[in-house]
Structure 1
């Protein structure tokens, strides 16, 4: 059935989709696809295939669950959005997880954040805190668009596939380009140090955002090691609306370093005190002191 052909073509891109074990799993799956009379009877198999092809960061989301997520992050829905707050020369941006995929939803998530950052510039003499501690992932492009003004121009973060091909995202005047969506323009960048907060709950796309700041001047990471899902996923929407999420590559920071494990903070701090440690780091070199 077409469902199986589409799935196998995507699964073959997985970082573990090679060798005798995968070939055996793949062949058995093709037989199951041919015999299947409904999509639903393949759901368990699809979960097994996702794990086999891509590892623990890959997954299969059945149509009913995928439909719920799409509704939760549809344009106009009341999903969590970033917050921007300033206090005594330090501005904190809390960046929540975001699973939206529609351009309008991405704009609802990112554009107000960009404007709040712009408004905060006059009140930010000491620096910026980017709080990713509770960011469990989703759409990395939306998240990077929201905080684009904090990123230096140039290549900021990349992905390397198992075949060695590399794809890079660039930032230009606060706008981060991407291969899937319309670029959200900012028209400005900020000048100041950035402290990125992480925890074990910082996962996947949250880790991608943290990686984008790795190697940038006047930037440090504060908190606990991340969850260790520093691999890139592709998402395929299948004919019934289910989502096949396959890990196809690894993160690269702007220096070209490849990541396949947790991101380790420069300053280790408990979850609750990480903001205070970041604030202290920023104030140590604050130009207003």
Structure 2
């Protein structure tokens, strides 16, 4: 009996040691896929900290198979020998991330992203002379996406049911965040089906609208207001419209009776994954570009509006009038 117990305890110990060995070897790199962040059994050295990020970037970042990335990683690893602290690695990591994923890939130093954020600014909807203006501010997955979507969807549907003849979607200042609630908020003026694709170069992943539900992009969200309306739609953009703000813009790209006004966007029309490192730094990796229903690919170049304007709302209203939206009330 004692021999059997010792054998069993030895087996358990061997399994534990083997498990710890697996975590030690693979936890830093594959932890992001399993638990959303790298897993280290002990505080990593600056060198292991940085090379872990490099390995993850090589697996996921959009340009990770480029000669530029290989060269940037080589130079950074040569300089890592001089790093005495994790903070010393930040500039090296950021330079490698830029080579691996472009300007949308980056390291955010600890403290720049607060774990507790203020309440999200909600969309606003107002109707004037038959034209509904929906303002979509930036949002975040840590905020209440349902409240955000409903704040836009409910009054928009009500206004259109009440006879509004045109819509302005104001994306100026929308630096991005969670695109699921954004699209759900304006789903009533988007057709059902795939409205956008995340293109990795190897495959395309669709963002789909069905009724008032959005899936495939950001947090899956269903707005608490249904209805489909085909009305002339103007979209307002500026130099701060970026990331998910640009993705929301591109969901309308190629639709009839749709036109964009304002200034060129920020040029961050790419999709990211993000994860937190043990010291509180955040890593953002660019994984894909945005592909529209017309087959066009958008990435790091600013999106040019159909009509450049320093007074885009006024210009948009004038265009909507030419589309037959001339309710005077």
TM above 0.5, one fold?
yes
Distance in 1 separating the partners of 2:88 and 2:148: 36
Question: What is the DSSP-based 3-state SS (H/G/I as helix, E as strand, rest coil) of the residue aligned with 1:149?
Answer: helix
Aligned to 2:292: 253
Aligned to 1:216: 255
Aligned to 1:83: 124
Aligned to 1:276: 314
The CA deviation at 1:264 is: 1.9
Q: Is 1:234 aligned with 2:273?
A: yes
Q: Which runs of 5+ in 2 are unaligned?
A: 1-43
Which of 307, 314, 317 is the matching residue for 1:267? 307
Question: What is the DSSP-based 3-state SS (H/G/I as helix, E as strand, rest coil) of the residue aligned with 2:320?
Answer: helix
The CA deviation at 1:90 is: 0.3
Distance in 1 separating the partners of 2:191 and 2:220: 20
The CA deviation at 1:281 is: 1.3
Which of 195, 205, 211 is the matching residue for 1:167? 205
Q: Is the 8 A contact 1:95 1:130 kept in 2?
A: yes
Question: 44-53 or 125-134: which moved more?
Answer: 44-53
Distance in 2 separating the partners of 1:87 and 1:287: 11
Q: Is the 8 A contact 2:235 2:261 kept in 1?
A: yes
Q: Is the 8 A contact 1:125 1:288 kept in 2?
A: no
How do 1:189-204 residues align onto structure 2 when only pairs under 5 Å count? 189-204=228-243
Question: What is the DSSP-based 3-state SS (H/G/I as helix, E as strand, rest coil) of the residue aligned with 1:111?
Answer: helix
How do 1:101-116 residues align onto structure 2 when only pairs under 5 Å count? 101-102=141-142, 105-116=144-155
The CA deviation at 1:80 is: 1.5
Which of 119, 134, 139 is the matching residue for 1:93? 134
Aligned to 2:219: 181
Distance in 2 separating the partners of 1:201 and 1:25: 29
Question: What is the DSSP-based 3-state SS (H/G/I as helix, E as strand, rest coil) of the residue aligned with 1:97?
Answer: coil
The CA deviation at 1:91 is: 0.4
Distance in 1 separating the partners of 2:308 and 2:163: 24
Aligned to 1:118: 157
The CA deviation at 1:288 is: 5.8
The CA deviation at 1:10 is: 3.1
Q: Is the 8 A contact 1:16 1:22 kept in 2?
A: yes
Which has the bigger relative contact order, CA under 8 A and spacing at least 6?
1
Q: Is the 8 A contact 1:224 1:269 kept in 2?
A: yes
Q: Which runs of 5+ in 1 are unaligned?
A: none
The CA deviation at 1:65 is: 1.1
**Deviation per CA, 1:171-201, whole angstroms, max 9, x where unpaired?**
1112211265343244322331111111222
Q: TM-score, normalised by structure 2?
A: 0.76
State which structure, 1 or 2, has the greater radius of gyration over its C-alpha atoms: 2
Q: Is the 8 A contact 1:149 1:189 kept in 2?
A: yes
Q: TM-score, normalised by structure 1?
A: 0.85
How do 1:27-66 residues align onto structure 2 when only pairs under 5 Å count? 27=74, 29=76, 39-66=86-113
**How many residues get paired?**
278
Distance in 2 separating the partners of 1:33 and 1:140: 37
The CA deviation at 1:49 is: 2.2
Aligned to 1:71: 116
Q: Is the 8 A contact 2:179 2:217 kept in 1?
A: no
Distance in 2 separating the partners of 1:206 and 1:128: 17
Q: Is the 8 A contact 1:51 1:58 kept in 2?
A: yes
Which of 51, 62, 70 is the matching residue for 1:15? 62
The CA deviation at 1:51 is: 1.4
